[in-house]
Structure 1
């Protein structure tokens, strides 16, 4: 990055004389490393009308998936596409007999999109599109079958219970978490665990179906209470649970195939790191504690100062998902547990960092969107220092939320202006500040995780 002191003075014309093309060209020059002074000078150097627009075009880090995605084979993606095609065709065949309007439209165009992605060799995208469309097509199929009294709830129960067995088998096979390259292999373990969590979440509907199949489970409603909409949701969940379980199995096999002959077991190391993180988090304040610290609950009015601190408290002290120290998430899922604990520490540290660097105080009445550009420029530099152009996959996953913060740090994100303009500007600034703050702390926590036994 070019230091601020080396930037030349730029004489700017009247903003009203700028065409959109000239303005965007200037922004492109900035994003390419040029020396246009937008966002690099004092926040008040340009009118807010210009800097508001500039926040939407300043370059942000790429999606995490641009750095790493698990390997999806053509056969893997094709199997889910074929499932979607079969489900959509079955629903289509039943609907002429159902005396009600369709609330979905089968695969909703996702089948065609998935096939196009498959043809282009984009197997990850094809898998995503097919899975996304499956939830709608399967729900419609289940609804239609229920209306026509063709639902086989015990069969759905059997499939759900089978998914749970598959999830347990995948998780058992992960131990002892052998790795060759922890920065890569831990990303695989995390993705495998994530797929089992997704499968488990979708398999939750199986409680109702299990009751109908004579399984002792009191968590769900009795099968007799399942209306057509509930059966539709249950059918969709069963299909999605099976797809997620299949993903986990395929990813697990791929990971085992890529490991060398002498990998290092990481399970015990990850457990020790997680315990150390829990010890650190024992002193973490609650969100209510933080709100009280800044007098947010006693304030009669909420100006920029109160808005900023409320945003920071909400963003940094919400529970991470999953929350290993507060829920019954399987502690044997070492990658997910350790990553969630690290994220909670980063959020806590990011809050303190953001408060120390906040440009808002109790005397602030409005907000200059030049601050947003200045903060995005600092965040971009921090991103390059922390992650660079080719970060280890596990670090990229760990920093995923920080990257998202930078991507939404735009005045009127998605051209939505629901709040007063000063709130829109301050909101964008806070996202950029938090993204930078998290990126500042992620590498150290990452290093503690990957520095093995």
Structure 2
């Protein structure tokens, strides 16, 4: 028989969650979630409010001319690809941009320039591949010419990177966010332009220095063409954002280059002071009993994977000269590692546990929301929104059955929702100090 106190708690939560579902902010902290049935708290993890997308709080300006330029590039790519496709022998249909051109045009007409830019850039990868394939089939493209084109675009990337130095900054919380976005676009552009054997291909094919042309069939040429076109979109983004930033920041503003270099070195050393992922895994996996993998081992494994990944080093080879990008990425890597220690210390599961109550996930979401409000709030500095992005995404997916899929046994799904909320909260706690360090407040 259910006690009166439990029934009261259940009624409180049902009433509270009804308010949440209706868009009203309510306090559910008075309820003990573990006293409620999992079916109810499973649903509650989906109904509980989550933070908005960070792009709703800040993103760089996209002008009509900017969006129109990329949409026009996609139109030209689709048009030429369609014309050439009719002249080649293939059983494949011409897919063009796969519907993304129509989406981009509609967004452009409606004045949604960010959406138009995003849709056009996404469609380029498909249209570019078909165009490159058709050109290769018709003998209209040579790898050395593609390599030369990519090389010239890489030179433009270097010029943009040089233009940013020495990072004159008037409002660090705002301007460094612009620099970060510009440099992130440059990293993406460089990765697309550099397709492995680019330098060798510039000097010719099928000789002692050049690559073997037989390795590059029409589909491979199509992929390279697509990469170059995608890279061009990212490069134009960087150039346009650079020009917009230059309108608001004068050369006489505070120079941040030396400061950023020192901060990046400090963060890098901080990361190196932590153990490796393998060393972390050895703390909770018993080699003599490797088949024992219950809730505790599952939780520790997820935390090790999420907090000790190498995402912060993505593009490090292409971004060594990009000081804001490097400092921000390293701040994320350091926050992840610090968050791991906090999450393990506050983990609501122990060795030997055989299940997990989703009420704990709901309670953790409440705690995470409180931290989000205090750290990010409703009007955060633009740079902070770039740092907390992944932590916010963690809170957004902290739902039992997120995406309509469920793991077996069910405790895995409930525990994973809890872990996302916990690690998101743990990361958010770290970012104020890391933000202050980058902007020079400490």
Say yes or no: TM over 0.5.
Answer: yes
Q: CA deviation at 1:404?
A: 0.9
The question of 1:442 aligning with 2:431 is answered yes
Query: Residue 322 of structure 1 is aligned with which of 296, 313, 321?
Result: 313
How much has 1:137 moved relative to structure 2?
Answer: 0.5
Match of 1:407 in 2: 396
Change (3 A) 1:383 1:245: same
Instruction: Tell me which residue corresponds to 1:272.
Output: 262
> 2:46, 2:400 within 8 Å by CA — same for their partners in 1?
yes
Change (3 A) 1:339 1:90: same
Q: Is residue 343 from structure 1 mapped to residue 332 from structure 2 by the alignment? A: yes
Partner of 2:39: 49
1:284 to 2:294 alignment: no
Query: Could you tell me how far 1:213 is from its partner in structure 2?
Result: 4.8
Aligned to 1:56, the other structure's residue is in SS state helix
Offset of 1:94 from its aligned partner? 2.1
Q: 1:115 to 1:301 in 2, by over 3 A?
A: same
Match of 2:11 in 1: 12
In structure 1, the residue matched to 2:3 is: none
Could you give the per-residue CA deviations for residues 172-229 of structure 1, whole angstroms, max 9, x where no partner exists?
Answer: 1111011011001111111111111111011012735861553999998433421011
C-alpha contact (below 8 Å) 2:364/2:421 kept by paired residues: yes
Check the 8 A contact 1:131/1:243 in 2, yes or no.
yes
- C-alpha offsets along residues 221-259 of structure 1, whole Å, 9 cap, x if unaligned? 433421011011011011111111111111111111111
Shift of the alpha carbon at 1:10? 4.6
Change (3 A) 1:25 1:122: same
Distance in 1 separating the partners of 2:378 and 2:297: 37
> Relative to 1, partners in 2 of residues 1:9 and 1:448: Cα closer, same or farther, differing over 3 Å?
farther
Corresponding residue to 2:222 among 226, 229, 232: 232
Q: Distance in 2 between matches of 1:123 and 1:101?
A: 37
Kept after mapping to 1: 8 A contact 2:313/2:330:
no
1:76-130 Cα shifts (integer Å, max 9, x gaps): 1001101101111111112223332336611111111111111221111110100
Q: Residues 73, 250 of structure 1: CA spacing in aligned structure 2 closer, same or farther, 3 A cutoff?
A: same
1:128 maps to which of 113, 118, 121: 118
Q: Distance in 2 between matches of 1:452 and 1:25?
A: 43
> Does residue 62 of the first structure (1) align with residue 55 of the second (2)?
no
- Structure 1: 4+ residue segments shifted above 6 A: 215-220
TM-score norm. by structure 2 comes to 0.91
Q: 1:323 to 1:206 in 2, by over 3 A?
A: closer
Distance in 1 between residues matched to 2:414 and 2:296, nearest whole Å:
13
Instruction: Tell me the residue number matched to 1:423.
Output: 412
TM-score by length of 1: 0.89
- Provide the alpha-carbon RMSD of the alignment: 2.6
Moved more, 284-293 or 44-53: 44-53
Deviation, structure 1 residue 54 = 2.0
Alpha-carbon separation, structure 2, partners of 1:253 and 1:9:
61
Distance 2:209 2:319 in 1: 19
Verify the 8 A CA contact 1:190 1:335 in the aligned structure 2. Answer: yes
Q: Label 1:251 to 1:11 Cα distance change in 2 as closer, same or farther (>3 A).
A: closer
Match of 1:256 among 230, 234, 246: 246
Rounded Cα–Cα distance in structure 1 between residues aligned with 2:73 and 2:226: 12
Question: Which among 374, 387, 391 is matched to residue 363 of structure 2?
Answer: 374
Ranges in structure 1 where 5+ consecutive residues have no aligned partner: 1-7
Question: Residue in 2 aligned with 1:34?
Answer: 26
Q: Secondary structure at the match of 2:51?
A: coil
Shift of 1:420: 2.0
